[in-house]
Amino acid sequence: MAKALNAVGPLLALILIWGSFYIFGDKHIGDGDGIESIVQQTVVIGIAAIGMTFIIISAGIDLSIGSAIALCSVIGAKLAMSGSSPAVVAITTLLTGAIIGLLIGLLVVRAKLIPFITTLGTLLILRGIAHGLSNSQPINAQDVNWLRFWLNSLPENMRWLVIPPGGWLMIILAALAAGVLRFTVFGRHVFAVGSNEQTARLCGVAVDRIKLYVYMIGGAFAALSGLMLVSYQGQGDPTGAKGYELDIIAAVVIGGASLSGGVGSVFGSLIGALIINVIRTGCTLNGIEESTTSIITGTIIVAAVAIDRLRRKAA
Amino acid sequence: MSKPVNDVARLEMRDIRKAFGPQIALDGVSLKVQAGEVHALVGENGAGKSTLMKILSGAYQPDSGTMFVDGQPYAPTNPADGRQRGVGMIYQELSIAPHLSVAENIWLGIEPQNGGLLDRAKMRAEAQSTLAGLGHGDIEVDSPAGQLSVSQQQIVEIARALSMGCKIIVFDEPTSSLAQADVQRLFDLIDQLARRGLAIIYISHFLEEVRRLSSRLTVLRDGQSIACHVTASITDDAIVAEMVGREVKDLYPRSQRRLGEILLEANIPGRGTLTLRRGEVVGLCGLVGAGRTEFLRAVFGLEENTSQKITIAGHSHLAEPRSNWLQRMGLVSENRKEEGLALELSISDNVCLPALKKIAKLGFVSPSTCDAHTAEWINKFGIRCQSPQQAIGRLSGGNQQKAAIARLLEADCDILLLDEPTRGIDIAAKAKIYEIIDQLVADPIRPRAVLMVSSYLPELLGVCDRIAAVRRGQVGEATPVAQTNSEKLMRAATGV
């Protein structure tokens, strides 16, 4: 019952926010185009948020995820432009992401560095590598149709999909990830490590290995998110995804996760990502200025977490 | 006694009631404490002691009932207000700021100022004299409080209460983290505080402490004050009977135990050797810090630098928690909150954690299977909870501990390492845990072996078959319980 409520809270907030924009503002936010545009923007954040959910549940954090997305977008775009097959592009990019995660994980587990500081460092390093690989120029991938397919506007004959295929990919991956977290030994161990690392160690959980896996999963999802960015923007951009780490972390936290670990839900995180983008889109549609949008988004993030805190206290 | 007769009590609480939603925590509690008196408050966990003390401190407001300090109405709106009106609390978990100096801690929140600046000289001088007045002039007022021992930190807290001018000091289980010698010093100090005319409320699960310190005691049960007695004129059995509302006949049941094969042979360089057979309980006694816990943890592979040789059921292996669970050895940590349990996770998650791989099919675990397994233990051990999905942190200490033991059995352990298994839990839960231990080692089909650490000698003597004293990191010879007594064990532990 309490668990059901945890998932319902953010969903209610989403409906409330979306509904308010619809009732009081531009009706486009509720029509096919509006929804499509919101989904297009949400997929990049949302897919990365799935990986981040693993990391945050394990009581970790990855501040460099925005840089990892940008780096992977550059790598993906380069490979795609060089004519590599879709499978090669996807596998290489995802592997790159997983290796980035592995390195972060090793720094956290072996060198015993605090994730916050470690990933503050990798935030700069990865961004630097992205610039180096691309000579600081966006890599045009407008014409890579198989990649563009995922987040392009739906052509007339595919309208039955309602949202772009990337949106469906995000939903399927979220369902898989939620299943892994809830129904596998690995998933339960992630929760145990995040809730109380000492208890997990006492109970024979291979704590270090779990952490490594978690950062690798985070990295792989960041890589996929990078490919989606290429799909959406038609280019691999070394300056792209700047500040996404904050949107992604905010999405996970709005979705009910606790930064001290042990709590979190993949679907909550997706709803969190949707909430952020509904606010952005809603503000744009209604001609609200960028500065005001920022303030509104920030207020809603703080309010969401504060309400969540109160709710937990009452429970 | 030639104390002037004073018919106005220092503290009086009259018919205090408090409910949290539908749950009634206090259902009419009255308490009267005189100046110069140590008044013990006893009762099981959940009897309402902590709620009552939170009302006294100002953390909660009562639904009805009145309080008086020195005859004046007392209705604190928050703990700071309560402290200012003279009520200080010394909790089990100490509340010092480790990075601040001793003097800064003593003056925290009431810092003396001189033209807007801290009056450091005054802070140091008065902190120094307060500590000296408590017989602890040796505590350096400039050193960071985090560097002090637990007992010294407690002294700092007491000094803080005195500096604020507290007339009533509540001690909530103050000895649970102290070594024996420090306990004695604390008792002397409490006596001294009472002689100064303070009213002391002393909360403890240990009746010998209650007997040693208090002149009167009040028994709480189910949110009601059952009775107030002069401590000297009531027996332990009668107190316990009033606490639990029935008679506890046999606290330490002892079924017929049959020794089986050797399950565990531990030989740890520098720490000693120990063998454990199927069907027996071996106890480790000793002073806090003597190395009992360290020995147990070394056996389980939780201590760093493990060059020890452990043989489990005839197979020698390198100790590491993960492989130990596979060898059917499990450990219950002395530190339930920090290490033992993942408090936000459910009972089911906690109980099944080491056994997940066994429960899983192809890496997949079904939550309902875990819940079903957990429900069995909940029934068997009488764990009071709403469902297996309830967060374990919401249970009482005793029920948490039962779940912690259930975890070992769910993982199919033969060797149970129990570190202070009854610390901080109430008598009824203790009795249940003694019963569980007895049933486990006397199981006719599959007797287990238990190695247990405890600071409480009567418990070890009641539960164990053999007891070894640990002194200065060394485990001594394990003596059959029939050939020893608390005095001999104390001698072995202290080396006198």
* A314 contacts in chain B (CB < 8 Å): none
Q: Compute the half-sphere exposure of residue A60: CA atoms within 13 Å on the CB side of its CA.
A: 38
Asked whether residue A258 carries a pLDDT value surpassing 90, the answer given is no
Contact B365 A203 (CB under 8 A): no
Average pLDDT over residues A173-189: 94
Chain A residue with Cα closest to B323: A204
Chain B interface, best mutation among A181, A202, A208, A309, by max B CB count within 10 A: A202
Contact B356 A191 (CB under 8 A): no
| pLDDT value of position B43 | 85
Average pLDDT over residues A227-231: 95
What residue has token string 């298994």?
Answer: B421
Tell me the C-alpha to C-alpha distance, in Å, between residue B65 and each of B55, B75, B89, B167. Answer: 11, 10, 21, 21
Whether B365 contacts chain A with CB within 8 A = yes
What CATH number is given for B262-494 in this structure?
Answer: 3.40.50.300
B316 to chain A, minimum CA–CA distance in Å? Answer: 18
Chain A interface, best mutation among B327, B345, B357, by max A CB count within 10 A: B345
Q: Would you kindly state where each structural domain of chain B is located, as residue ranges?
A: 11-244, 262-494
Chain B residue with Cα closest to A258: B344
Contact B333 A202 (CB under 8 A): yes
| pLDDT value of position B396 | 85
B165 to chain A, minimum CA–CA distance in Å? Answer: 34
Mean pLDDT of the residues in chain B: 88
A199 to chain B, minimum CA–CA distance in Å? Answer: 5
* B331 contacts in chain A (CB < 8 Å): 202
Instruction: Tell me the pLDDT band of A54, cut-offs 50, 70 and 90.
Output: very high
Contact B302 A206 (CB under 8 A): no
Chain A residue with Cα closest to B410: A203
| pLDDT value of position A312 | 67
Contact A200 B360 (CB under 8 A): no
Asked whether residue B371 carries a pLDDT value surpassing 80, the answer given is yes
Query: What domains, with CATH codes, occur in chain A?
Result: 28-314 (1.10.3470)
Chain A from 9 to 38: CB within 8 A of any B CB:
none
Q: According to DSSP H, which parts of chain A are helical?
A: 2-24, 32-57, 65-81, 86-109, 115-134, 145-148, 165-183, 185-195, 197-202, 207-233, 244-254, 266-285, 290-314
DSSP symbol at A209:
H
| pLDDT value of position B4 | 47
Contact A184 B342 (CB under 8 A): no
- Which region among A58-62, B28-32, B83-87 has the lowest average model confidence (pLDDT)? B83-87
| pLDDT value of position B2 | 41
- Per the model's pLDDT, the better-predicted residue between A245 and B327 turns out to be A245
Amino acid identity for residue B316 in this structure? S
Chain A residue with Cα closest to B319: A204
Chain B from 298 to 327: CB within 8 A of any A CB:
302, 321-326
Chain A residue with Cα closest to B330: A203
| pLDDT value of position B247 | 60
Average pLDDT over residues A213-240: 96
Average pLDDT over residues B34-55: 89
Query: Shortest CA distance to B400 belongs to which of B333, B458, B447, B464?
Result: B333
Whether A54 contacts chain B with CB within 8 A = no
Q: Which residues pair with B277 in a beta bridge?
A: B262
Whether A181 contacts chain B with CB within 8 A = no
* A195 contacts in chain B (CB < 8 Å): 342-345
Chain A residue with Cα closest to B367: A183
- C-beta separation of A17 from A282 below 8 A: yes
User: Which of A182, A195, A200 has the CB atom closest to B367's CB atom?
Assistant: A182
Average pLDDT over residues B40-60: 88
* B299 contacts in chain A (CB < 8 Å): none
Q: How far apart are CA B397 and CA B7, in angstroms?
A: 39
User: Which of B342, B356, B389 has the CB atom closest to A196's CB atom?
Assistant: B342
Contact B340 A202 (CB under 8 A): yes
Which tens digit of pLDDT belongs to each residue from B2-42?
444 456 899 999 999 998 877 788 999 999 999 999 999 99
Whether B350 contacts chain A with CB within 8 A = yes
Whether B448 contacts chain A with CB within 8 A = no
Q: What torsion, rounded to 10 degrees, do the Cα atoms A29, A31, A34, A37 define?
A: 150
A235 to chain B, minimum CA–CA distance in Å? Answer: 40
B341 to chain A, minimum CA–CA distance in Å? Answer: 6
- Per the model's pLDDT, the better-predicted residue between A30 and A239 turns out to be A239
| pLDDT value of position A306 | 83
Contact A185 B360 (CB under 8 A): yes
Whether B333 contacts chain A with CB within 8 A = yes
Asked whether residue A314 carries a pLDDT value surpassing 80, the answer given is no
| pLDDT value of position B300 | 87
Percent of chain B whose pLDDT exceeds 70: 94
Whether A262 contacts chain B with CB within 8 A = yes
Instruction: Tell me the pLDDT band of B314, cut-offs 50, 70 and 90.
Output: low
The number of angstroms, rounded, from the C-alpha of A169 to the middle of its chain's C-alpha atoms is: 13
Whether B398 contacts chain A with CB within 8 A = no
| pLDDT value of position A315 | 54
Query: Shortest CA distance to B151 belongs to which of B183, B127, B126, B173?
Result: B183
Contact A195 B302 (CB under 8 A): no
Chain A interface, best mutation among B331, B337, B341, B344, by max A CB count within 10 A: B344
Contact A262 B341 (CB under 8 A): no
Which tens digit of pLDDT belongs to each residue from B382-438?
998 899 999 999 888 889 999 999 999 999 999 999 999 998 787 888 889 999 999
User: Which of B338, B356, B363 has the CB atom closest to A198's CB atom?
Assistant: B338
Chain B residue with Cα closest to A202: B321
Asked whether residue A1 carries a pLDDT value surpassing 50, the answer given is no
DSSP symbol at B5:
P
State the architecture of B11-244 in CATH terms.
Answer: 3-Layer(aba) Sandwich (3.40)
- Per the model's pLDDT, the better-predicted residue between B470 and B46 turns out to be B470
ipTM above 0.85, yes or no: no
Q: How far apart are CA B417 and CA B274, in angstroms?
A: 13
**Total CB pairs under 8 A between chain A and B:** 81
Q: How far apart are CA A169 and CA A276, in angstroms?
A: 20
Asked whether residue B285 carries a pLDDT value surpassing 60, the answer given is yes
| pLDDT value of position A157 | 83
Chain B interface, best mutation among A188, A208, A209, by max B CB count within 10 A: A188
Q: Is the dihedral of CA B361, B367, B368, B370 positive or negative?
A: positive
Whether B389 contacts chain A with CB within 8 A = yes
Whether A182 contacts chain B with CB within 8 A = yes
- Per the model's pLDDT, the better-predicted residue between B455 and B481 turns out to be B481
| pLDDT value of position A28 | 85
Query: Do B11-244 and B262-494 come out as alike in CATH topology?
Result: yes
Name A112's Cβ contacts closer than 8 Å, sequence gap at least 6: none
| pLDDT value of position B313 | 63
B375 to chain A, minimum CA–CA distance in Å? Answer: 18
Q: What's the pTM?
A: 0.77
Most confident by average pLDDT, A309-313, B44-48, B393-397: B393-397
Angle at B279 (CA atoms; ends B275, B281), nearest 5 degrees = 60
Name B458's Cβ contacts closer than 8 Å, sequence gap at least 6: B486
What residue has token string 């066994």?
Answer: B358
Percent of chain A whose pLDDT exceeds 70: 96
Which helix or strand (DSSP H or E) is residue B311 part of? strand B309-312
Contact A262 B345 (CB under 8 A): yes
At A164, list the tokens.
């772009």
* B322 contacts in chain A (CB < 8 Å): 204-206
| pLDDT value of position B466 | 96
B363 to chain A, minimum CA–CA distance in Å? Answer: 5
User: Which of B321, B323, B389 has the CB atom closest to A201's CB atom?
Assistant: B321
DSSP track, B424-439: T--HHHHHHHHHHHHH
- Per the model's pLDDT, the better-predicted residue between B241 and A236 turns out to be A236
